[in-house]
Structure 1
Amino acid sequence: MKYQYWLSNIPGVGCKTIHRLLGQAGSAEEIYFLKKEQLEKLSGLSDRQVHAITDRKKNWNLEEKYAALGESGISFLSCEMESYPKQLRNIVDAPYSLYIKGKMPDFSKRRVAVVGARMCSEYGKKMAEQIGEKLAFCGAEVLSGMARGIDAYGHIGALKAGGNTYAVLGCGVNICYPRTNQKLYEDILSHGGIISEYPPETEPIAQLFPARNRIISALSDVVVIVEAKERSGSLITADFALEQGKDIYAVPGRVTDSLSMGCNNLIRQGAGIINSVEDFVKDLELYACNDTTQENFNKLLLEKDESLVYACLSLRPKSMEELLKKTGFAMPQMADILQRLIQKDFITESFKNYYIRKI
């Protein structure tokens, strides 16, 4: 394994080149012991890459570096190992190696990726959180990229339900990116894992992030896009998912919103539509939670006036004025009912005097 770790840490030698080398030399160990003249005879290697490989042998203490990795608490997998996930083996540009902090997804469970825009709307945040929470409550595992916005809220929803969630990063697993997600990073480590194809200490740079999307989709059974512009990184994940034969679902949005264009286009092209979180989990055949959900709902014993107001709400924010018109209640009575529903965790105030259902 130490030779595989060495091979995955050579600057300028990416997974495509490594796979070509393995096809000719057989294994990381055999590549390690090739002389410079032998490396130069291999096809597909530039002079610069030959120099990088030979330099890494001279200036990289193999035993010391491998021992340090073990002490760091970071696990290492390569495609030369039997434990490497079969879900990744046959994808285009399969990563040669994975670094894991925490644990890998449980492949005996349903796994769903929840991804979307970084600069998302309040509606998008609520939907991502509710989808993540409902999936985790039903026993599925949630994957995403821990980016700001939709990714983060998908993770947050899963954690809220006490489920497992996993983040695939475009940097080393020992680096929290973005820094503002430090608490989320720590929570994910406690209830799942952080995964990357890049060695520890790899800094987050823009060109590394699109490639990680192929890993998110490959490790998942289903990919959900919550909000995406017409040209969006989330649509890269959707493209990878299509290429890998995965099911894609999208959350629809207003046709006038730029954040909805990517999702609405996916739906027009045949993606599944999420117009109800309950129906979505049924589509995934995650039925086990439905009776429990109803039981928990009944335990809260909503009063008649609370049930009436709750029935008027949906996943889109509704104003106090709309609710007053629909129910005929007076303002003080409505304010009291809404406050009770918030306390019982049935609804939330998305912004001042606008209310939205929770799961």
Structure 2
Amino acid sequence: MSDTDSLAAWLRLTLIPGIGGETQRKLLAAFGLPEGIFAAGRLEVRRIIGDRADLLFDSDPAAAIEHGLKWAGQPGQTITTLADTGYPKALLEIADPPCVLYVRGNPALLQQRGIAMVGSRNATPQGIHTAESFARHLAAGGQCIISGLALGIDAAAHRGALAVHGQTVAVIGTGADRIYPARNKELALSIAERGVIVSEFPLGTPAVAHNFPRRNRIISGLARGVLVVEAAPESGSLITAGLAAEQGREVFAIPGSIHSPVARGCHKLIKQGAKLVETASDILEELGNYDLVTTEPAAATPAADEPPLLAALGHGPCALDDLVERTGQSADLLLPELLTLELGGIVATLPGNRYQRLA
């Protein structure tokens, strides 16, 4: 059987609605490769999966198979199966590895056991700054940055890695021929060119809510450890962290202000045993790569000539009314100074008439 025929058999197995990953793996365990499943015939397959065998033999995904084969024949695009030597070895360690992966970019990066970085889509400016900074330093130290291409922390992590010409992997919850969200189009194109985008979902799969938690097991599965930067208590990032723990990966969390809703998920993880980290070296030291990083993001220390307003602002989100109380100055006096600091990239304005320093 040619490589094309073999791939077509894998696509036939995985493109039939109602034949999910667990069923696919059960059939592979019983009959070997996909061609063995179809050669066994309906009655033998029915002994393994019951009436769902009729779906397997009565469905005709020929058009989808042809589309997949054409897509994989384009430069920079491949479909990797469980039987391929290029299949990510790390995913063979998890309980439910996908049978096929649609890959855009450099598939060799899927063998890199890097650091997954996840967090809130509605990240604070400080969270974006922190994620980019950590990703830059980890990537500069030779770590592949793995994330999910979502808005907020995910996108910041990818940007940080690309900024230092580092390696990055985006695990997406749509078909590999789609870009979601649209706001990350340019970022996705950069990742496809300089890193890799991977999906287990068939080509053309739209953005469906339940697919995103499902892809999280791949994000954590590819990584040596998962770093949560900002997360609400019920965030999908905590799902990723939970999957990482189940898969035997390390879980790290960055603490934040007790007043910040997107810090509470990280605090929850730390209470449950996640490792609190303040610098990139905290992560690399835990993973045995401490010497790879020479510079790193660290907690800001007040400068000798720090403006009194910054000292009053502190390092957590602060309402304007609180700044008035802390400084003893009126809002009319504080607002121009805050605007100057914002234009200088030192302070960010948050919803609710609040402010936060960025460094």
Q: CA deviation at 1:288?
A: 3.2
Please, which runs of 5 or more residues in structure 1 have no aligned partner? 294-305, 326-330
Q: Which moved more, 1:52-61 or 1:265-274?
A: 52-61
Which residue does 2:251 correspond to in 1?
Answer: 248
1:17-96 alignment runs, 5 A limit: 17-40=23-46, 42-45=47-50, 47=51, 49-57=52-60, 59-60=62-63, 65-71=68-74, 73-96=76-99
Task: Give the AA of the match of 1:27.
Answer: L
How many residues align? The count is: 331
Distance 1:237 1:269 in 2: 14
Distance 2:180 2:349 in 1: 28
Task: Give the AA of the match of 2:43.
Answer: E
Please, which runs of 5 or more residues in structure 2 have no aligned partner? 1-5, 298-302, 328-332
User: Of residues 255, 274, 278 in structure 2, which corresponds to 1:275?
Assistant: 278
Measured against aligned partners, the alpha-carbon deviations of 1:250-270 in whole angstroms (never above 9, x if no partner) come to 011222322111110111222
The reply on whether 1:350 has 2:355 as its aligned counterpart is no
User: Of residues 292, 299, 308 in structure 2, which corresponds to 1:288?
Assistant: 292
With over 3 angstroms needed to count, the CA separation of the structure-2 counterparts of 1:156 and 1:21, relative to structure 1, is same
Which residue does 1:195 correspond to in 2?
Answer: 198
Measured against aligned partners, the alpha-carbon deviations of 1:34-68 in whole angstroms (never above 9, x if no partner) come to 4333332x2234x3x32331234574585675245
Task: Give the AA of the match of 1:71.
Answer: Q
1:196-211 alignment runs, 5 A limit: 196-211=199-214
Identity %: 32
With over 3 angstroms needed to count, the CA separation of the structure-2 counterparts of 1:68 and 1:229, relative to structure 1, is closer
Task: Give the AA of the match of 1:238.
Answer: A
Which residue does 1:130 correspond to in 2?
Answer: 133
Task: Give the AA of the match of 1:11.
Answer: P
Contact 2:127 2:229 in 1 (8 A): yes
Q: What SS is found at the alignment partner of 1:163?
A: coil
Contact 1:16 1:93 in 2 (8 A): yes
Distance 2:186 2:346 in 1: 23
With over 3 angstroms needed to count, the CA separation of the structure-2 counterparts of 1:90 and 1:77, relative to structure 1, is same
Which residue does 1:301 correspond to in 2?
Answer: none
Q: Which moved more, 1:192-201 or 1:272-281?
A: 272-281
Distance 1:210 1:292 in 2: 31
With over 3 angstroms needed to count, the CA separation of the structure-2 counterparts of 1:65 and 1:172, relative to structure 1, is closer
Contact 2:281 2:293 in 1 (8 A): no
Contact 1:158 1:165 in 2 (8 A): yes
Q: CA deviation at 1:185?
A: 0.6
Q: CA deviation at 1:7?
A: 1.6
Contact 2:134 2:279 in 1 (8 A): no
Normalising by the residue count of structure 2, what TM-score does the alignment of the two structures yield? 0.79
The reply on whether 1:14 has 2:20 as its aligned counterpart is yes
Distance 2:102 2:257 in 1: 40
Q: What SS is found at the alignment partner of 2:185?
A: helix
Q: What SS is found at the alignment partner of 1:118?
A: coil
Contact 2:126 2:357 in 1 (8 A): no
